[in-house]
Structure 1
Amino acid sequence: MIVEQRASTGEKLEIMRIRYLVLAMLFTLAACTSGETPTAGTATPGTAVIGTSTITNFLPITAPGATSAGDRLLTGILYQPLFSYQHKTPTKYSLDTLRSLAEVTNVSEDGLTYTIALRNRSWSDGIPITTYDIELWWRLILANKENWRGYHQGRIPDTITSLTITDPMTFTVTTDKPYDPNWFVGNELAHVIPLPQHIWDPDNIANTPAGAARLYADLTAAAPDAKNKFLTAVSGPYKLDNLKNGTVTLTAVDKYDGLDKPRIGTIKLQPTPDNDLGTSLTTKKLDVAMLPSATTADQVKKLQDSGFTVAPQYDWGISYLSFNFNNKTSLPLLEQTYIRKSLQRLINQDNLIKNSWSGEARKGCDVLPTAPNASDNPCPPTVAYDLQAAKQELAQHGWQQHGADMVCTESAKCGEGIAPNTKLTFTVVATKNSPAIRELEQLRDEFAQAGITLTINQVPDAVAVMSDCARTARQCEWDLGLATTPLSWVFPTYPSGEHILATNSAANFGGFSNPQADELIAKTYQSATPDSLATYSNFINERQPVLWLPQPPVRYIAYPKNLNGVDNDAPLIPQNWSTP
C-alpha cells in the first residue's frame, strides 16, 4: 500500500523538473550554511586492482540465485544502500553514520511507524537523491517479491503495510506489528537501496503493479549488460567506466558528495580463481585479494615476505555442530542435556585453533556473535574444555569407560530409552574435503580420550543431507552435522535466532524445538524487551542444542604494505584507500 497519490504521466515530467531544480538549490544553500554537509572532492591519482569472482550482473536488483560475490562487491560500490552498518563501536541501530544515506528520526509510541530522513546526497549526475528513489525501490520489490533475491516469506516487504512519502526528503514506513527497532532497522531496512527514479522510471510506469512488473523484467534482463541504459547515474563513489576481457574498470565520481570521498582514481575488478589469487598478487597482476579461509600459514608467510599485509577477516557469525534431533535411533542419547554438555566439555578449542586453523580462529562459546574486532575472551567454565569434568558428569549418570568405549552400566541413571551396555558412538556428517575436516578429525581424537566414538561421514553436500532430513525425514542416519564452513551461520546486523533455532526455521537443520526457546526468540525481534538477546542466549546455552566450535576467519585480505586506509575488520571499501 502506497499512501501518497502521484501525478499523472502528462503532469509528472514538468513536476519532476521543478522538484529537482528546487532541491538542487536547497542543497546548494545547505552546503553554504552547514559545516556538516559534504562537498564534492577530487580523487587522488592511482589504480588498485582487486581479484574477484566473475561479474555477471551490474544492477543491484536481481532474481534469486543470479548474483556472485563479484556482483555484490560491484553493485555495493555503485549503489549505496539506505543504511550501512558496523559492529566496531556502539551506535544506535549499529549504523555506520559516515556512510548511511539516512537516519531514523522517530519511532511512534505504538512501535509501528518509523520516520526516516534522507541526508543531502546526490546521484553521480548531480540530481538529488530523494524519497521518490526510495519509493521506486518499494514499488519494484512489492510487485516482484517472488522474483527478488532478497525475499524470504514473512520478511520485507511482508513486514511493511505502507510506505508514505512525507516530502522529498522524509518518508515513513508502517509495520504489520511492533518489532524491536534494532531488528527492524538492522535486518529489514538493510535491504532498501535508493534507485535513480529519474533514470530508471521517468514515466512513472512503476506506479501500478503491472507497470512495476514490466520495469522489473526490463531491469533483470538488462543487468548482465555493462552498457545498459540504467547505469547512467549511481550513488556510490565510483562509476562504471568499461568492461574488457571480464575486467570491470571503475572511475571516481567527480560529483560524489559523500563524506567517504574516493582517494584512488581507478578501481579494477579482475576475475581471478581462488587458487590463482596468491600467484596473481606476487606477480603484481593484483593489488588486493580476498583469500579463502583455508589459506595456510605458509601461504600467508610467503605473501608477507613478498611485501603484502595479510590479515584475517572475521564475520558476524558463529560456528557449531548441530545435534540431529530427527534421528529417532539416537534420540534417547541426544535428548540428554548432560550428554550434550559433556560433549562440549571434550572440545579443546585451543588445540583446534592451533592445529586445524593455523592459529587463526576465535573461541566459540555462545549463540550470539562476537564483534569482528573484539579480543578473544575465554569461554565460561560450563563450556570450556575439561576432560575430567566431562568424564565425571557421565559417571554420575551411569556411564563407565571400559577400555576404548564409554558404556551405560546403570540404565536408570543414563536416561529414558537408553538400554544397558549402550555405547556412546556418534556419526558426524560434513561436506567432503571441507576445510573443517581437519577439525573433525582432531575432534574425533579428543572424543576418543573419553571412550566416545565419532565417525566422520563425508558427503558431497552436507547442507543438502541435513536439509533433507529436517524437511522430509530422509537421510537422517547422522547424529551431528556441520552444515557450512568456515561459519555455520552469518547474521544480519541484529543477531536474533529465528532462522537457526526456532522450531521449523529454515536453517534449523537439527530439528531443535522448544516452546520456551521459541517464545524467547520471538521476543528478541518482535518487541523492544530489555536484555531480550541476553535472556535468549542464556536459555539456549543452558540447554546446549548445538556444540560450539572455534570461529575461523571467513577470509584473509591481502594488500601491499604501502596501501593505506584498508580496514582489516570490514568488507572492501576502496574509497577509503590511498597510496603515498
Structure 2
Amino acid sequence: MKKRLTVTITLLSAISLVLAGCGGLQSGSPNQEGVDQNQVLNMTLRAEPATLDPSLVADAVSSDVLNNVMEGLYRINKDNKPEPAIASGVEISEDKKTYTFTLRDAKWSNGDAVTAQDFEYSWKRTLNPETTAEYAYILYSIKNAEAYNTGEASADEVGVKALDEKTLEVELEAPSPYFLSLTAFSNYLPQNQSAVEEFGEKYGTEADKMVYNGPFHVSEWKHEQNVQLKKSDTYWDRNAVRLELANLNIVKETSLAANLYTGNEADVVELSSELADAFKKSPEYLPYTGSTTQYLVFNTTNQFLSNPNIRKALSYAIDRDSLVKIMKDGSEPAYGFVPPTIFTSDNKVFREEASDQHQYNPQEAKRLLQEGMAELGLTSTPSLTMLSYDDHRKDAAVFMQEQLRSNLDLEVRIDPKPFKQKLDRELEGDFEITFAGWGADFNDPQTFLDIYVSDGAYNWAQWSNEKYDELIKSSIGNPNNEERTKNLVEAEKILMEEAPIAPITYAGKIYLQKQYVKGIYRHPVGAELSLKWAYLDGKEK
C-alpha cells in the first residue's frame, strides 16, 4: 500500500470521541455550506478488485475498496496516523503486550451490532490453516497466531478473545511499536460470522454477498466494469460522510481514462507516463509518491537463475535513472528494497542507515554473467520470459527487455497479464522472471523484509537463507531499537547480495483531480485511498 507523505506511524494512546445519542454519531455534522447538492464522485480504478473477503484480500485495489466499505478497530486518519474507529479506546498493559479495546456502538449493513466476537471470529478465520489465507502472517504479532496458522496450536490458544460484546482483549507475542496501525489493515477487519456462513464460497465476490460496517457499502459490482459505493445509513460516523455515491469505473487504459476526464465523465483518474507531459502544467495535475517498490523477482528454481552472480548481472544491466525519466510518473530509481519513506523503530530513515547495493554497471554485469555461467557450466544463455502487468507498467518491462538485450545479449520475452492472472501465476511459481511491486502495510522495514523469509507466502523467488531468517525473526518484537535496526540493515544487505530480487523503482503516480474534488486522502502505508472525508464543491457551478 503507499503514498504522498513521509510519516512515522507512532503508537497512539486512545482518544475518546464525543458521541451524540444512542447511534454513536460524532457530535457536530460537517459544515455543508457551499458544497454541491449532488455528491456523486466519478473515479477510475486500474484493475478489478480480486476479492472483498478480509481473510483473503492480498492486493492494493481490493484493499482500497475495503478501506471505504469496512472499518477496523482503528482507521488511518487525515494525518496518516491510526485513530480509534470501531474501537472507542484502548488500554495497553505496562509491558505493552496486552491491548484491551472497548468498542463503540456500531452496526453492520444488515442491522446486526458490530461486536468483539466479530473481530475474534475474523482474525481466527484468517489464521485457520483451512482458509489458506496468503496474508495470514500479518497477524503473527498476536500470541500463538503463527503456531495456529501452521497447525501447532489450537484456535483457543490464539491471543485474541472477546471478553463481552464490547470488549476485545489481544495478547501479543512481544511489544510491537506499530500494532495499532496494523489494526487498521485489511486483514484485521471484522467479519460477520452469519454472513460468511450464509454466502459460503460467494462471500466477498459480489455486492450482495457481503455485509459492510464502513462509511459506504458496495451497491453495485459489475465485474471488470464498475464498483459503485453508496453512503451507508448504518455507519456510526455517517454525519462525517458527505459523498452520497462514488462510481469506481474500471479503466485499464490511461488514454481512455484521460478522455473520460477531459470529457468531464470522470473527476479523478490516474495518468500514465506518455500522458504526463500533456497535463503537467495543469493545476489539476497531482503527483503522488508513496511507499511502494517495483522490482524483478527471479525464480531461483530455474537453473539459469539459481546463480546469484547471474541474478546480480541482470540487475546491474538495467539503467534505472534512464527508466524513471521515461516513466515521468514521479518514480525514483531504487538501489535497495526498502523505500526512503520507511522509518526504523528508533525513528530513523532506514534508507539512510542502509547502503545502496545494486547499481547500473554494464561492464560489471557482463563479468558477473560470465562468472555465473562458468559456475553453472553453461556456454550459452537461454531465452527467458518476464511476466508483466498488462497496464502502463508494461512500458517499463519493455525498457528492461531492451537493456538486457543490449547490455548482456540476453533475449527476454515479455508476457503481460491482467492483474489477477499475473498474481495467480506468481503464487503458483509459474514464471521465470516477474515484474512485481510491494507497498508498505505499516511504516517499518519489516513490512518489506519479512516477505523473503524461507517460508514466506510471498517469497515467489523460492529463495532461502538461514542467516536472513534469523535476522528477520529476531527483529520481531526486539525492544532494543538500535540492535533491531542493525539486524534489519544486515538482512537487506544479504537480500541484495544474494539477489533473488532486483529493486527497480520506488513507484510514483500521477493523478488528475478536478479542483472541485475535496477531501480525498491518500495514505503512505496500508490502503491508499480514503473517501470518508471527500466531497464536491463547485462541480455544479
3-state SS in 1 of match to 2:411: strand
Letter in 1 for 2:439: V
Separation in structure 2 between the aligned mates of residue 269 and residue 221 of structure 1, nearest angstrom: 21
Report the alpha carbon displacement of residue 265 of structure 1 after superposing the two structures with TM.
Answer: 4.0
Identify the residue that residue 214 of structure 2 maps to in structure 1. Answer: 236
Equivalences for residues 442-461 of structure 1 within 5 A: 442-444=402-404, 448=407, 452-459=408-415
Identify the residue that residue 209 of structure 1 maps to in structure 2. Answer: none
Equivalences for residues 58-207 of structure 1 within 5 A: 60-61=52-53, 73-85=64-76, 95-97=81-83, 101=87, 104-107=90-93, 109=95, 113-118=98-103, 130-135=115-120, 137=122, 146=131, 151=136, 158=148, 161-174=158-171, 178-179=173-174, 181-182=176-177, 186-187=181-182, 190=185, 191-195=187-191
3-state SS in 1 of match to 2:472: helix
Identify the residue that residue 321 of structure 1 maps to in structure 2. Answer: 296
Separation in structure 2 between the aligned mates of residue 575 and residue 284 of structure 1, nearest angstrom: 23
Report the alpha carbon displacement of residue 254 of structure 1 after superposing the two structures with TM.
Answer: 6.6
Equivalences for residues 350-361 of structure 1 within 5 A: 350-355=321-326, 357-358=327-328, 360-361=330-331
Equivalences for residues 499-518 of structure 1 within 5 A: 500-518=451-469
- Quick check: 1:519 aligned with 2:470? yes
The superposition leaves residues 256-309 of structure 1 with CA deviations (integer Å, 9 ceiling, x where unpaired) of: 554992244443334545453222222222212345xxx133x2344567x672
Letter in 2 for 1:283: G
Say if 1:129 and 1:460 are closer, same or farther in 2 by CA, change over 3 A.
closer
3-state SS in 1 of match to 2:324: helix
The superposition leaves residues 183-238 of structure 1 with CA deviations (integer Å, 9 ceiling, x where unpaired) of: 6555577322245xxxx6xxxxx6xxxxx6x852336557566567x75xx54333
Identical-residue share of aligned pairs (%): 14
Maintained 8 Å contact 2:97/2:175: no
Identify the residue that residue 516 of structure 2 maps to in structure 1. Answer: 562
Letter in 2 for 1:268: N
3-state SS in 2 of match to 1:280: helix
User: Alignment RMSD, CA only?
Assistant: 5.2
- Quick check: 1:545 aligned with 2:498? yes
Separation in structure 2 between the aligned mates of residue 220 and residue 463 of structure 1, nearest angstrom: 20
3-state SS in 2 of match to 1:484: strand
Maintained 8 Å contact 2:43/2:269: yes
Equivalences for residues 21-40 of structure 1 within 5 A: 27-28=19-20, 38-40=27-29
Tell me: higher relative CO, structure 1 or 2? Use CA pairs within 8 A at least 6 residues apart.
Answer: 2
Separation in structure 2 between the aligned mates of residue 365 and residue 527 of structure 1, nearest angstrom: 27
Letter in 2 for 1:83: Y
Maintained 8 Å contact 1:63/1:220: no
- Quick check: 1:309 aligned with 2:284? yes
Report the alpha carbon displacement of residue 117 of structure 1 after superposing the two structures with TM.
Answer: 3.5
3-state SS in 1 of match to 2:453: coil
Letter in 2 for 1:358: K
Say if 1:118 and 1:323 are closer, same or farther in 2 by CA, change over 3 A.
same
Say if 1:60 and 1:319 are closer, same or farther in 2 by CA, change over 3 A.
closer
Separation in structure 1 between the aligned mates of residue 324 and residue 412 of structure 2, nearest angstrom: 19
Aligned residues: 480
Separation in structure 1 between the aligned mates of residue 463 and residue 295 of structure 2, nearest angstrom: 14
Identify the residue that residue 492 of structure 1 maps to in structure 2. Answer: 441
Say if 1:102 and 1:220 are closer, same or farther in 2 by CA, change over 3 A.
farther
Equivalences for residues 273-352 of structure 1 within 5 A: 273-274=252-253, 276-291=256-271, 295-297=272-274, 299-302=275-278, 309-328=284-303, 334-336=307-309, 346-352=317-323
The superposition leaves residues 502-525 of structure 1 with CA deviations (integer Å, 9 ceiling, x where unpaired) of: 224333333432211110111233
Separation in structure 2 between the aligned mates of residue 277 and residue 369 of structure 1, nearest angstrom: 29
Separation in structure 1 between the aligned mates of residue 313 and residue 227 of structure 2, nearest angstrom: 52
Say if 1:428 and 1:260 are closer, same or farther in 2 by CA, change over 3 A.
farther
Separation in structure 1 between the aligned mates of residue 488 and residue 108 of structure 2, nearest angstrom: 43
Match of 1:573 among 523, 530, 533: 530
Say if 1:358 and 1:484 are closer, same or farther in 2 by CA, change over 3 A.
same
Match of 1:367 among 332, 337, 351: 337
> When the two structures are superposed, what TM-score results if normalisation uses the length of structure 2?
0.68
Report the alpha carbon displacement of residue 79 of structure 1 after superposing the two structures with TM.
Answer: 1.8
Separation in structure 2 between the aligned mates of residue 142 and residue 378 of structure 1, nearest angstrom: 34
Report the alpha carbon displacement of residue 457 of structure 1 after superposing the two structures with TM.
Answer: 3.4
3-state SS in 2 of match to 1:97: strand
3-state SS in 2 of match to 1:116: strand
3-state SS in 2 of match to 1:319: strand
Say if 1:350 and 1:86 are closer, same or farther in 2 by CA, change over 3 A.
farther
More strand by percentage: 2
> When the two structures are superposed, what TM-score results if normalisation uses the length of structure 1?
0.64
Maintained 8 Å contact 2:75/2:85: yes
